[in-house]
A and B are shown apart, each in its own frame.
Chain A
Amino acid sequence: MKSLRRTVSELWHGWLQRRIPPSRQVLLDQRRIFIFPSAYGFFFLLIAVLLFVGGINYENNLLLGFSFLLVSLFLMAILHTFRNLAGLKLVAASMRPGFAGARGALEVRILSAHHAHLSIWLHWPGAPAEEVSVEPGEEKSLWLSVQLLRRGRQHPGRLRVESRYPLGLLRSWSLVDLDHTCLAWPKPLSGGECPASGGDDDTGVNHQDRGSEEFEGLRSYVAGDSLRLVDWKSYARGRGLNTKQFSDPAEGRLWLEWNRLPGHDPETRYGRLCYWVLQLDQRGERYGLRLPDGELEPGSGPLQRERALEMLALSGESG
């Protein structure tokens, strides 16, 4: 039984994949739109049938006509509900990452080419739906929240685009794969000692062209040095051509290291590192990050935090 259901589900997804292949940009057309009466639609038809029976029994042609009008209206609603979705263009836009276990958000841009598309509902599986309307030629952007379960890149599944406008008697929908992914940072795990090493062992490295925070000294001019860095004043005093040396401040530079968290499973290590990244960032410290598959040069500020978190999110992913 279970395997049967799985087979059906696989067949369905395979079919969907062929029918609506993943793409960053999807134009909804008749191949991609499904349509089916809603519960109210059935209720409406029931009323029409009741009126039909009444019309037959009372031999009342107007009652029959009214019932036919309701049915015709229903048929017209098929066209209108379909049209409300047809011609809508969906484009995957930017992404707002979040911590694993919380929510992230993905931006979807909705464009209308020719006619208005009103009251369109969009949502990823398992997430609340958002309503949007676009007028002809208009473009709207919508942030849709995504439940982030694991660390790493996350595919939110197929976006469900649904509309019942105008009459609510029918539901037209499409399941589009916008090839959109949301980044999930590791869930911060507090506790433990700061898995960091001070930077004393790094002093030998020459930091000549990186940053210019602190004047370090002069050395003799080497062809190729930027003229900007030539100490013209000393040259004027006849001390020859010298180039100014600058360096990063050595103290307060911390390396958060994967290797300093032995004995934990990888996800815990990422969680710890994440926690410390946030901690250090909050204190405004400079820090670097060393992971088995790469390292981030020390730095501080929001950009550094962003980079560190991204690295933590993507670490361990092949490719």
Chain B
Amino acid sequence: MTTAIGRAITAVSGVVLGKEEQIRLAVACLLARGHLLIEDLPGMGKTTLAHALARVFSLEYRRVQFTSDMLPADILGVSIFDPDSREFQLRPGPVFTQLLLADEINRATPKTQGALLEAMEERQVTLDGVSRPLPEPFYVIATQNPVTQAGTFPLPESQLDRFLMRISLGYPSAETEIALLSGSDRRQQALTMKPQLSTAELMQMMLLVEKIHASADLIDYVQRLLGYSRDGGLFVAGLSPRAGLGLLRAARAWALLAGRDYVTPEDVQVVLGPVTSHRLQGSAGGTTAASIQQLLEAVPVVRRS
């Protein structure tokens, strides 16, 4: 089963070149039932990545380009009275899909953002007082622009907490870029990819993630990381228990990707940055990433006293 995942990752790497780490993280995020926030400039291959993921995991895929005039109904859907059948008919919005690429989410108004984020959290949409479950699996890849431009509404911190991970793809390396330039259109290539896993298999993998063993010592390590983020004076505010749960879940998914049935401290360390960087704000000048590195270095992996 994990080999199928491995094949899927290899397949995606063939399309999104030189970003294997990010692809693995994106897959781990999917397996951990989280949502992914990609912070990047346009044209870095976000859409290609989302598309390729949807193809290899045979997920139903929609893309929504967020704009400032968007309303919640444009995402969630709306009930329309059909004069022919003389009945109200629900027209489900683009959110009713398995993989949603929410492009430039920070261009939408907070209200619209809130509607999507609520749907992400609840995994259901309530229209006219009737709750409709979203399809399973439900995976949102949201992107946002790092450069604050006019007419953007940055996501509030409480909303950012809803994303399990935040990653950025970044510019490709020189070789990758050459390969990229000399090859055919990546997005076209993504469209023709073959599925590697069925939805049912994917769901099974997701169940498997929960069964990955996290020993008492490992949980202790995670807790000490959380504790230090709160008491260490590195951040304005420490990590929430939800962040801790997310960290552990992401580490489990990462362990599964590595083909193990237990979590090791490496797993935690790998996912620590992606899981926590959007939830923390360094208190002393430097970048959040540097503070997270400090956090990592301050906490011994195995208790010493």
Smallest Cβ distance from B223 to chain A, in angstroms?
A: 12
Q: Any chain A CB within 8 A of the CB of B241? A: no
Contact B88 A227 (CB under 8 A): yes
Q: Contact at A228–B129, with CB atoms within 8 Å?
A: yes
Give chain B residues whose Cβ lies under 8 Å from the Cβ of A236. 86-87
- State whether A228 touches B130 (Cβ < 8 A): yes
Contact with A along B76-119 (1 / 0, CB 8 A): 00000000001110000000000000000000000000000000
Instruction: State whether the Cβ of A226 lies closer than 8 Å to any Cβ in chain B.
Output: yes
- B45-58 to A contact mask, C-beta < 8 Å, 1/0: 00000000000000
Nearest A-chain residue to B79, judged by Cβ = A227
Contact in complex: B128, A235 (CB < 8 Å): no
In the complex, what residue of chain B is closest to A230 when comparing beta carbons? B88
Interchain CB contact under 8 A, B129 and A227? yes
Closest residue of B by beta carbon distance from A226: B129
Neighbouring A residues of B128 by C-beta, 8 Å = 227
Does A232 reach chain B (CB closer than 8 Å)?
yes
Shortest beta-carbon distance from B76 to chain A in Å? 16
> How many angstroms from the CA of A200 to the CA of B94 in the assembled complex?
53
Q: What's the Cα separation between A232 and B86 when bound, in Å?
A: 9
Q: How far is the CB of B130 from chain A (nearest CB, A)?
A: 7
Binary CB contact string for chain A from 219 to 260 against chain B (1 if under 8 A, 0 otherwise): 000000011100010011000000000000000000000000
Q: In the complex, which residues of chain B have a beta carbon less than 8 angstroms from the beta carbon of A235? A: 86
Residues of A in contact with B, size category: under 10
B:113-156 near A, CB below 8 Å: 128-130
Cα distance A227–B88 in the bound complex, in angstroms = 10
* Cα distance A232–B88 in the bound complex, in angstroms: 10
| Total residues of chain B contacting the partner, CB 8 A | 6
Which residue from chain B places its CB closest to the CB of A236 in the assembled complex?
Answer: B86
Total of A-B residue pairs, C-beta within 8 Å: 10
CA distance A226 to B130 in the complex (A): 10
Q: How many Å from the CB of B84 to the closest CB on chain A?
A: 12
A235 to B88, CA, bound (A): 12
Q: Give the distance in Å from the alpha carbon of A227 to the alpha carbon of B126 in the complex.
A: 13
- Distance in angstroms between the alpha carbons of A226 and B86 in the assembled complex: 18
| Residues from chain B with Cβ under 8 Å of A228 in the complex | 129-130
Separation of A227 and B129 alpha carbons in the complex (Å): 8
- Give the residues in chain A near B87, CB-CB below 8 Å: 232, 236
Q: Which residue of B lies closest to A238 (CB)?
A: B86
A235→B128 CA distance, assembly (Å) = 18
Q: Report B-chain residues with C-beta under 8 Å of the C-beta of A232.
A: 87
A176 to chain B: closest CB distance in Å? 28
> A227 vs B89: C-alpha distance in the bound complex, in angstroms?
12
Q: Which residue of A lies closest to B130 (CB)?
A: A228
Q: How far is the CB of A119 from chain B (nearest CB, A)?
A: 26
A212 to chain B, nearest CB (A): 14
Residues of A within 8 A of B88 (CB): 227
Measured in the bound complex, the distance between the Cα atoms of B87 and A314 in whole Å is: 52
Report A-chain residues with C-beta under 8 Å of the C-beta of B130: 228
- For A226, the chain B residues whose CB sits under 8 A away are 129
In the assembled complex, the CB of A306 is this many whole angstroms from the nearest CB of chain B, namely 29
Which residue of chain B is the closest to A235 with respect to CB atoms?
Answer: B86
Find chain A residues with CB under 8 A from B86 CB.
Answer: 235-236
Give the CA-CA distance A226 to B129 in the complex, in Å: 8
Q: Which of B165-188 contact A (CB under 8 A)?
A: none
Shortest C-beta distance, A7 to chain B (Å), equals: 48
Q: How far is the CB of B80 from chain A (nearest CB, A)?
A: 13
Residues of A within 8 A of B129 (CB): 226-228
Provide the bound-state CA to CA distance between A236 and B84, in Å: 11
Please name the residue on chain A nearest to B216 by beta carbon: A137
What's the least CB distance linking A242 to chain B, in Å?
A: 14
Could you tell me the distance between the alpha carbons of A228 and B88 in the complex, rounded to whole angstroms? 11
Q: Closest chain A residue to B85 by CB distance? A: A236
**What is the CB-to-nearest-CB distance from B127 to chain A, in angstroms, rounded to a whole number?**
10
CB distance from B220 to the nearest CB of A (A): 10
Q: How far is the CB of B245 from chain A (nearest CB, A)?
A: 20
| Complex CA distance for A71 and B159, rounded to whole angstroms | 66
Assembled-state Cα–Cα distance A236/B82 (Å): 12
Which A residue's beta carbon lies closest to that of B87?
A232
Q: Would you list 10 pairs from A and B whose C-beta atoms are within 8 A, ordered by A residue?
A: A226-B129, A227-B88, A227-B128, A227-B129, A228-B129, A228-B130, A232-B87, A235-B86, A236-B86, A236-B87
Interface of B toward A, CB cutoff 8 Å: 86-88, 128-130
Nearest 9 pairs between A and B by C-beta? A227-B128, A236-B86, A226-B129, A228-B129, A232-B87, A227-B129, A227-B88, A228-B130, A235-B86
- A sample of 7 more A-B contacts (CB under 8 A), given A227-B128, A236-B87, is A226-B129, A227-B88, A228-B129, A228-B130, A232-B87, A235-B86, A236-B86
